[in-house]
Structure 1
Amino acid sequence: MARTERGASAVEFAIVLPVLFLVIAGIVDFGRYFFTQIQVTNAAREGARAAVVLPNPAASDMTAITQRALAGAAGVPGVAASVMVTCPATSSNATVQVTATFNWIVMKPAIQMIGGNWGLNGPVTANGVMRCGG
């Protein structure tokens, strides 16, 4: 290595490191987002399943079941579950729909490093729909 090229790799690493960090942080954050989406979807599905299985469930029961399922999910605190019940006894094609919504917040340190959140925060919504049993 020539004397004039000493330290060049350290300078190159210093230039590439922030970009590499942002790419890794983005991968981790998208992984967190997809994990959260799966947990919210599973909780909404669990609430809908409970509505079909339980005899005469109230909307508050399904909301409580959905929130309990989300409380058991790691990293998904404070989820609001809205429940829409459509299960008339006269229709054979009636369904129960449970909608769970979670307010997604992007990982702060990585986004603050490049300035702002760019509107990436927002709701994660999932629906659980099941056919009513007769």
Structure 2
Amino acid sequence: MHYSERLLIHIKQAERITQAAKEAAVREAGITAAQQAALAVLSENPGINAAELARKLSVTPQTMNSLLGRLEARGLVARTPHPIHGTLIEIRLTERGEEVFAQADALVAKLDARLAEGLTPDEVAAVRDLLARIVRNAGTPGR
């Protein structure tokens, strides 16, 4: 098999190009793709802690703390002690964070729709299924 025929090449190219498109899209909302991803997880998991957020985004705790520091400095997230377990710090979107996330999410949804142009709903479902199977296969050690 030629190098250009390898599945890994096509996956990497798709990831690189779609991430660049996402970066450009969310820049309109004044944030980065990494910040948008964090805001998305926070919007679905209010009160999550930094360690769990880092796990969900597959980044190191150090990277997450840096990202959260930038979001907090901009007033997009707030970190507060858990009401019962005071040593745990909960992270939530602020009102401004919700506004910025809503704007960025609309831009990402528009990009998502653009990526699916010319595909039928069944084809979109098939792409999702195929990518999920590839992810599962990649995560299976020793194969």
Give the TM-score normalised by the residue count of structure 2: 0.27
Which structure: greater helix fraction? 2
Which structure: greater strand fraction? 1
Structure with the bigger RCO (C-alpha within 8 Å, sep 6+) is 1
Give the TM-score normalised by the residue count of structure 1: 0.28
